[in-house]
Chain A
Amino acid sequence: MLAKIEKNPLLTLALVTVLFLIYGYATSLPKITDFIIFCIFVIGFDLLYGHMGQLSFGHMLYLGAGAYGCSMFANWIYPDPFISILVGIALGAALAALLGTVVVKTSAAAFALLNLALNEVGAYLVLSPLHEWTGGEDGLSLFFNSYGWIDFNDATFRFYFCLGSLLLVTFIVLRLVRSPYGILLKSIKENETRVKFLGYNTFMYKYVTFIISGAIVGFAGALTSVNLAYCNTSLIAPSRNVEVIFAALMGGAGKVMGAIVGGTAFMTISNYLASYIVRWEMFLGVALLAFAFWFRKGIWGYARKL
């Protein structure tokens, strides 16, 4: 049944909306807002990992670009929430466009490690040489203008805004991966050499995907800083990459719904279970091993067959 719902984009979006509304009102809206934003991050990451077949170990860089783009604009230029978020998206995309020219040419281990190296350099730049603008270790606090009922200081508004953003991103990515472009992307994942011999410029397809991923992840970063009302170096820390990889793997890589399921499941575990499980990182590691060895399809991969 779930597989049938998955085929229809509108049903998918409705299902996501209903489940998040139930979850949000059953627990707490501000917390679920976090979960929703993380899901956007996972969708952006999974576009590269699940759909294009390249594992990036440095995607916190683009999250950080979005978060710092948004909060630096709000802090130093003009505290308008919408322009700030757009600046965050633009910075994520621009950074991906700049670095993608070299990153996309590599593959497999080189792709993962090059992203990691760039993320380390980015985190250092934010922390030290640029600390006058980025706030260094103290980070930046955010205050936004409000326009009538459009008020980003209100947690309920932020919840609905982020839910709307998630639906928008889900819709765009669903359309994207089911278009001829998305099918070609999947073919590149399976066998790039063959697609190249068919006459396609595979670099261009991968490059564009990298930029789209950067933009989506930048969007997630901007929303994170808006939701937290601050931005600090933990939003660009390379060590947190494992969270998004784990979420994508847990939900099931290569499926948009898998990213949402994985993102929600990961955040649920790390927020609620962490208070019961003392050895939280060990649990995460063991679960990561289990998903890497035995459950490669992820939760959604098994659930959709029900």
Chain B
Amino acid sequence: MINFIQSILYGLTIGGILYIISIGLSLTFGAMGIVNFAHGLIYAVGAYALYTVATLLGANFLVGAIAAVVVSIPLAYLIERFIIRRLYGQSIDYAIIATYAVLLIGADALKWFFGASPLPISDPIGELWYFGGLQMPAYRVIIIALSIAVFVGLSLFFKKTLVGKIVVAGLQDREAVRSLGIRVERYFAIVFIIGSALAALGGVLYAPLSTLDPYMGFEIIILCFAVVIVGGMGNLKGTAVAAFGLGLVHSLTAVYLVSSAADAAVYVVMAVVLIFRPIEASA
């Protein structure tokens, strides 16, 4: 029983990180119909920024995390300005190909600067917390708390602020918002950058649980597409539910079935959802 609860909590950690990374992807997909593989690059850059600041320069983990978010913002702006913006209203194939190319270029650049071998990052807290008979690394507890905080924060942002309200309205009906004289694409660009900063944060959070390698963006982005598809594009609550659900699937498969099947189980869920609830073509 303790084991079961523990694996659920581990699943929630993965789910929380998946949620933080996926939310930007979900909004871009829902708002613009663009399948953005470049999101995986920002995630990887976040992790490497942490590595540079925290390990190479010897600063604090928290400083590293802030550096990752700071680095991701101009990068996201450049990607939005020069790649994504050119793809609005075009065939979806070119969006997939172009953003995949950006991911490829970025991964090669990371390999150039940091080498191809996996780099470890140590757990910044390194303590175990006990809840009754249950023991959990403090770091994982904090991740779960943080992802819930991000969810609450984003919900408030979309409900209470003007920018958030415009974006939500734009997700429902872009043309109607535009006809009010609001340049809705600008607001989507703001959300794109917020989503990218969260992806970088996701990279930071995931780094101590795994190792860094230049191709880490490729692996996570497909898991995130699974989250976006299962949760529904541009659906805030759906993305959260799907992220935690798939995190649980991942962790429970690894514990109770075969550990190497965890990723495959997530893809199976994604395939099943695509089959029974196909997304509409927006191009």
Chain A interfacial positions (CB closer than 8 Å to B): 49, 55, 57, 102, 105-110, 112-114, 116-118, 120-121, 124-125, 127-129, 239, 242, 245, 249, 279-282, 284-286, 288-289, 291-293, 296
Partner of A116, one of B83, B112, B215, B222: B222
* Residues of chain A lying within 8 A (CB to CB) of residue B63: none
Q: Mark B85-111, 1 if CB is under 8 A from A, else 0.
A: 010000011101110111111011101
3 cross-chain pairs, A with B, having the tightest CB-CB distances, nearest first = A285-B105, A108-B281, A288-B101
Flag whether B260 is at the interface (Cβ < 8 A): yes
Flag whether B119 is at the interface (Cβ < 8 A): no
Known A55-B97, A242-B100, A245-B97; further 7 A-B contacts with Cβ < 8 A: A106-B279, A109-B33, A109-B281, A112-B93, A125-B264, A281-B111, A292-B97
A-B contacts, 27 listed (Cβ < 8 Å): A55-B93, A105-B275, A106-B279, A107-B281, A108-B92, A108-B282, A109-B33, A110-B229, A110-B279, A112-B93, A113-B270, A117-B268, A120-B222, A120-B263, A120-B267, A124-B260, A124-B264, A239-B215, A239-B218, A245-B97, A282-B112, A285-B103, A285-B104, A285-B105, A289-B98, A292-B98, A293-B94
In the complex the two chains form, is B267's CB within 8 Å of A121's CB?
Answer: yes
* Residues of chain A lying within 8 A (CB to CB) of residue B93: 49, 55, 112
Counting contact residues on chain B (CB < 8 A from A), the size range is 35 or more
A26 to B38, CA, bound (A): 41
In the complex the two chains form, is B264's CB within 8 Å of A55's CB?
Answer: no
Interface of A is mostly: helix
* Residues of chain A lying within 8 A (CB to CB) of residue B261: 124, 128-129
In the complex the two chains form, is B105's CB within 8 Å of A286's CB?
Answer: yes
* Residues of chain B lying within 8 A (CB to CB) of residue A112: 35, 92-93, 96
A273 to B98, CA, bound (A): 22
With contacts A106-B278, A108-B283, A109-B96 taken as known, whether A117 is within 8 angstroms of B267 at the C-beta atoms is yes
Partner of B96, one of A57, A118, A129: A57
Flag whether B225 is at the interface (Cβ < 8 A): yes
A245 to B99, CA, bound (A): 13
Expressed in whole angstroms, the minimum distance between the Cβ of B198 and any Cβ of chain A is 21
A48 to B96, CA, bound (A): 16
* Residues of chain B lying within 8 A (CB to CB) of residue A102: 275
* Residues of chain A lying within 8 A (CB to CB) of residue B33: 109
In the complex the two chains form, is A113's CB within 8 Å of B260's CB?
Answer: no
Expressed in whole angstroms, the minimum distance between the Cβ of B37 and any Cβ of chain A is 10
